[in-house]
Structure 1
Amino acid sequence: MSVLKVDSVVMQFGGVVAVNNLNIEVEKGHIQALIGPNGAGKTTAFNVITGVYTPTKGNVYLNNEKITGLTPDKIAMKGIARTFQNIRLFKNLTVLDNILIANHLHVKSNFISSTLRLPWSKAEERHMREKSEMLLNKLGLLHLKNEIANSLPYGEQRKLEIARALATDAKLLLLDEPAAGMNPHETMALSNFIHTIRDEFELTIFMIEHHMDLVMEISDKIYVLDFGQLIAEGTADEVKNNPRVIEAYLGVEEDAEN
């Protein structure tokens, strides 16, 4: 069953076509990846999926519902969450506060009820705190709940960013280069972490990643972009042995006579 469908999407900025006729399907429960050289259009594709950009042509569907043109907050409420290549935490707030803020996506209290501390508003706040602590406990971060986010080691900050995305009750998680800046030990831990959250929270995961060892190890299916064009798709073995993929990453040797 397809959770996400990108159907013939074109994203054009003036005369520049950043994504050209992109077709992607992400299956429920899968970990799938979008790879390609720098400038291939990967982040543009993510921005189209999450509503940052409205595509020039084509549509995006979540569980067969068209979400093209919806704002990022509306798309998040429908169950898509994302992280970013550069970690975007509330760095001067605690770990727990970062999770509590994400929980507010589905909060029903308004400014007046919160200010007056009405009973149902207080009960909702207590529920959010309990839910946030339960999430941190599941992800092995509860012992850090009072730590300032910016004081955490890099790998733990990345985990916190993913935990904050999960706090929105997402069912489709988009990870934008989750292993960026990590050493081999942190990358291995991240691989285990991604598998754990996929199973624990019954997630579907779609990621952009340059770390090929990570991509090849955990991806059920891989899509390859080059200059905004999809040039290959398939399993890890199919993709890594594809001549067009090899050419896109390594280039073509010039004729020896030149």
Structure 2
Amino acid sequence: MKLLSADKITMKFGGLTAVKDFSLELNKGEIVALIGPNGAGKTTAFNMITGVYTPTEGKIFLNKEKISGLKPDAITKKGIARTFQNIRLFGELSVLDNVLIANHLHLKSMFLEGMFKLPRYRREEKEMIEKSLELLKRVDLYDLKDEKASSLPYGKQRRLEIARGLATNPEIMLLDEPAAGMNPKESDELTSFINEIRNEFGLTIFMIEHHMPLVMGISDRIYVLDHGVTIAHGTPYEIQNNSKVIEAYLGVKEDA
């Protein structure tokens, strides 16, 4: 079942074309990777999907509904969550509070109801706390719920950032270089964690990643960008043996 599609989306900044005619399909339950050399346009593609940029050309659809041109918060409400290469947690707040903030996205109470602690807000607040605590149990962070986010080890911070995304009830989770800065043990734990949340939460996952063992070990399909253009798309085996991909990464012809 196709959840998200991008139809030849292009992003231009003045005279510079960062991404050209990028097409994408994400099917329910898949883990799909987007790889390519630095400066290939991967983050720009993410930014178009999540509403940071509106494509100069082309359209993006989620469940057959056009979402290109919507603001990031509207796209999040429709079911797309995102993490960033540089972890963006509220470092001075607790682990629990970081997840609670994400839960506020779906609050139905009005501003004044919250200000005066009216019954509907109190009821929703209680439900949010219960939901957040349950989520922390499911991602193995419950015992750290009262710790400052900034005090967590790097791998746990990344797990918390993903948990915060899960709190928005996404169908699709976009992970921007989730293994960046991790040691081998943390990378292995992350690989297992991504598989676990895909299965437990019924997610579709789209990720940018440079750590090739993770990409090849976990992805169902892979897209490869180079200088803003898609040069390959296929299974991990097909990508590993693609001459254009080898040349883009190594800078030499395959038979050199």
Normalised by the length of structure 2, the TM-score is 0.98
Could you say what secondary structure the match of 2:158 adopts? helix
Please tell me the residue identity of whatever aligns with 1:88: R
Over the residues paired in the alignment, what is the CA RMSD in angstroms? 1.1
Q: C-alpha distance in 2, partners of 1:112/1:66?
A: 33
Q: C-alpha distance in 2, partners of 1:209/1:114?
A: 40
Query: In the alignment, which residue of structure 2 is the partner of 1:197?
Result: 197
Q: Deviation above 3 Å: which 4+ runs of structure 1?
A: none
* Superposed displacement of residue 109, structure 1: 1.4
* Superposed displacement of residue 121, structure 1: 1.2
Could you say what secondary structure the match of 1:196 adopts? helix
Q: C-alpha distance in 2, partners of 1:111/1:54?
A: 30
Please tell me the residue identity of whatever aligns with 1:122: R
CA deviation string 1:175-204 (max 9, x = no partner) = 000000000000000000000000110000
State whether structure 2 residue 108 is matched by structure 1 residue 134: no
Determine what percentage of the aligned residue pairs are the same residue: 64
Query: In the alignment, which residue of structure 2 is the partner of 1:51?
Result: 51
Normalised by the length of structure 1, the TM-score is 0.97
* Superposed displacement of residue 134, structure 1: 0.3
* Superposed displacement of residue 164, structure 1: 0.1
Query: In the alignment, which residue of structure 1 is the partner of 2:211?
Result: 211
Q: C-alpha distance in 2, partners of 1:101/1:8?
A: 35
Query: In the alignment, which residue of structure 1 is the partner of 2:224?
Result: 224
Query: In the alignment, which residue of structure 1 is the partner of 2:63?
Result: 63
Please tell me the residue identity of whatever aligns with 2:208: I
State whether structure 2 residue 240 is matched by structure 1 residue 240: yes
Gapped regions of structure 1 (runs ≥ 5): none
Q: C-alpha distance in 2, partners of 1:102/1:183?
A: 28
Q: C-alpha distance in 2, partners of 1:151/1:110?
A: 34
Q: C-alpha distance in 1, partners of 2:212/2:45?
A: 19
1:176-187 paired onto structure 2 within 5 Å: 176-187=176-187
Q: C-alpha distance in 1, partners of 2:17/2:111?
A: 43
CA deviation string 1:70-94 (max 9, x = no partner) = 0000000000000000000001100
Please tell me the residue identity of whatever aligns with 1:233: H
1:69-218 paired onto structure 2 within 5 Å: 69-218=69-218
Q: C-alpha distance in 1, partners of 2:27/2:130?
A: 32
Could you say what secondary structure the match of 2:174 adopts? strand
* Superposed displacement of residue 95, structure 1: 0.2
Query: In the alignment, which residue of structure 1 is the partner of 2:8?
Result: 8
Query: In the alignment, which residue of structure 2 is the partner of 1:17?
Result: 17
Q: C-alpha distance in 2, partners of 1:226/1:168?
A: 32
Q: C-alpha distance in 2, partners of 1:64/1:188?
A: 35
Please tell me the residue identity of whatever aligns with 2:16: V
* Superposed displacement of residue 226, structure 1: 0.2
* Superposed displacement of residue 116, structure 1: 1.6
Tell me how many residue pairs correspond in the alignment.
Answer: 255
